[in-house]
Chains A and B, each alone.
Chain A
């Protein structure tokens, strides 16, 4: 192999290495060898559980940073120092929680999106946190739940089977059935008779079930009921129209109900009537006197008697003296 060929191969090999390194770099780092340092946030928790340095920080499931450090802050608080991608802004009302990613103890810090209008958190500031139940708490709760479930099942089993002293549900049902077997048999026989009659089309119910004529009548009745309902609806519609008219003050009734002038007139009329009736009852005026004063009655009676006498006299004396009699009787 000549020297030039060897050199070319070495050159090619080196370029291949460079190309592969570049491809790997582009694929894994999106074109950045060392990621931007990002800014720091502090997340305080009662317990960091399984969280450790290097665990991910995710916002809505997307990785936005990592846990740079875990430390104790005072005697009742643990802190996780989060390194966040500088391109990501975290809102001041966003909440961080420790989330379990898998059953083999993988955890990450989950941060929610917060409201877009809230201010962005600055480098070194503290993010709000909330406590999430860890797997041990959940397991413990599940254990308690299991115990309760077992207790409930035992109670149901006791109720069904009895506890030796008191009979269970099935024993009670058995006793009821055995005690009333005759009655039950009779009931069943009756029931059988009834169903047989129904089947044969006997009786009202049987006919209703089996007779097509009854069915047709029923359908006709229903149709009539429907027609009646339609009529009723039309009536109601008309009534509604009338009411609407009345409400709008049209017509006599409308004027009566809704026209204030008419109302005032009626009030005045009633007041006048009242005044007239009061006067009558007090015996004032001609009509009142007529009703209340019996002098006129007695005068009329006297007059009638006199007239009677005059007429009698007229009958005896003849028509020539009639005028004289009348005048005599009257005066």
Chain B
């Protein structure tokens, strides 16, 4: 019972935090330095790991697809399989998972520390709402950066698939053929679906992590617990939202 109450409380406080942060949107221009800093943390520093992971996801996808599709003579369609999988599903999901692991945990740790060490209370005392200077810049930054990360993930994944398709002996498909099939079976709507997904995931991750961080109570141990909770909830949320967003966009 307590658990259910805790979940409902978490959902409620997250929505409250969202509205509070949204109400300070006009102040975003004055906080542009913070916004840029958060963009840098969320987007720029996450790029290398997203690129590496997407490259190998694309490659493995091509390898596995080539292995199974050559059984029934359809390996020339690897391009469309990798392209659609990366754009519609794996690009945004993997970017979101990395964001949860790298940025979400950092946000949760930072805000939990500020809460535990009463910095948040100090802000409140000074009549500076935490939602305004701690949450809003992060939400705005993730909205701007997440599609960028997702499109890079898509493209790097496609190229990973193309390289593996060319240089794996059992597949041996030229990049021209790979990208020709990819183009034939894909429309920009597929990519756009993925970008919308990534936007939703990123926004949800940052919001949840901020909320969990700001709701930390106790000492340093609770900081660690909050980080763990933030990452776990983010991952679950990504997959749950994935289903609903996919359904909604179909």
Please name all residues of chain B whose beta carbon is closer than 8 Å to the beta carbon of A21 when the two chains form the complex: 147, 151, 191, 195
A328 at the interface (CB under 8 A from B): no
Cβ contact within 8 Å between A14 and B183: no
CA distance A21 to B195 in the complex (A): 9
Interface size of B in residues (CB-CB distance below 8 Å): 28
A330 at the interface (CB under 8 A from B): no
Segment of A25-33, A76-84, A197-205, A312-320 engaged in the interface with chain B: A25-33
What are 11 A-to-B residue pairs whose CB atoms are below 8 Å? A6-B36, A6-B40, A9-B44, A14-B39, A17-B148, A20-B152, A24-B188, A25-B191, A28-B191, A29-B189, A33-B192
Selected contact of A24 from candidates B43, B47, B154, CB within 8 Å: B154
The 4 A-B residue pairs with the shortest CB-CB distance in the complex, in nearest-first order: A17-B148, A29-B188, A10-B39, A28-B188
A178 at the interface (CB under 8 A from B): no
Please name all residues of chain A whose beta carbon is closer than 8 Å to the beta carbon of B43 when the two chains form the complex: 10, 13-14, 17
CA distance A330 to B36 in the complex (A): 176
A127 to chain B, nearest CB (A): 24
B243 at the interface (CB under 8 A from A): no
Using CB atoms, name the residue of chain A closest to B147.
A17
Contact string against B for A residues 188-215, beta-carbon threshold 8 Å, 1 for contact and 0 otherwise: 0000000000000000000000000000
**A6-B40, A17-B43, A24-B154 known; 5 other A-B pairs, CB under 8 Å?**
A3-B36, A14-B144, A16-B152, A17-B147, A21-B147
Cβ contact within 8 Å between A28 and B186: yes
CA distance A104 to B76 in the complex (A): 14
A7 at the interface (CB under 8 A from B): yes
CA distance A10 to B35 in the complex (A): 10
CA distance A32 to B154 in the complex (A): 20
Selected contact of B183 from candidates A25, A28, A33, A104, CB within 8 Å: A28
CA distance A7 to B149 in the complex (A): 17
A331 at the interface (CB under 8 A from B): no
Interface size of A in residues (CB-CB distance below 8 Å): 23
Binding site for B on A (CB under 8 A): 3, 6-7, 9-10, 13-14, 16-18, 20-21, 24-25, 27-29, 32-35, 102, 104
Q: Which of B151, B186, B187 has the most chain A CB atoms closer than 10 A to its own CB?
A: B151
A205 to chain B, nearest CB (A): 65
Please name all residues of chain A whose beta carbon is closer than 8 Å to the beta carbon of B37 when the two chains form the complex: 6
Please name all residues of chain B whose beta carbon is closer than 8 Å to the beta carbon of A35 when the two chains form the complex: 187
Cβ contact within 8 Å between B74 and A104: yes
A62 to chain B, nearest CB (A): 12
Cβ contact within 8 Å between B187 and A28: yes
Cβ contact within 8 Å between B151 and A27: no
* Given A24-B154, A28-B187: A10 touches B148 (CB 8 Å cut-off): no
A41 to chain B, nearest CB (A): 21
CA distance A48 to B155 in the complex (A): 38
B5 to chain A, nearest CB (A): 41
B244 at the interface (CB under 8 A from A): no
B108 at the interface (CB under 8 A from A): no
Please name all residues of chain B whose beta carbon is closer than 8 Å to the beta carbon of A6 when the two chains form the complex: 36-37, 40
CA distance A221 to B52 in the complex (A): 94
Using CB atoms, name the residue of chain A closest to B32.
A7
Cβ contact within 8 Å between A10 and B74: no
A47 to chain B, nearest CB (A): 25
CA distance A155 to B153 in the complex (A): 67
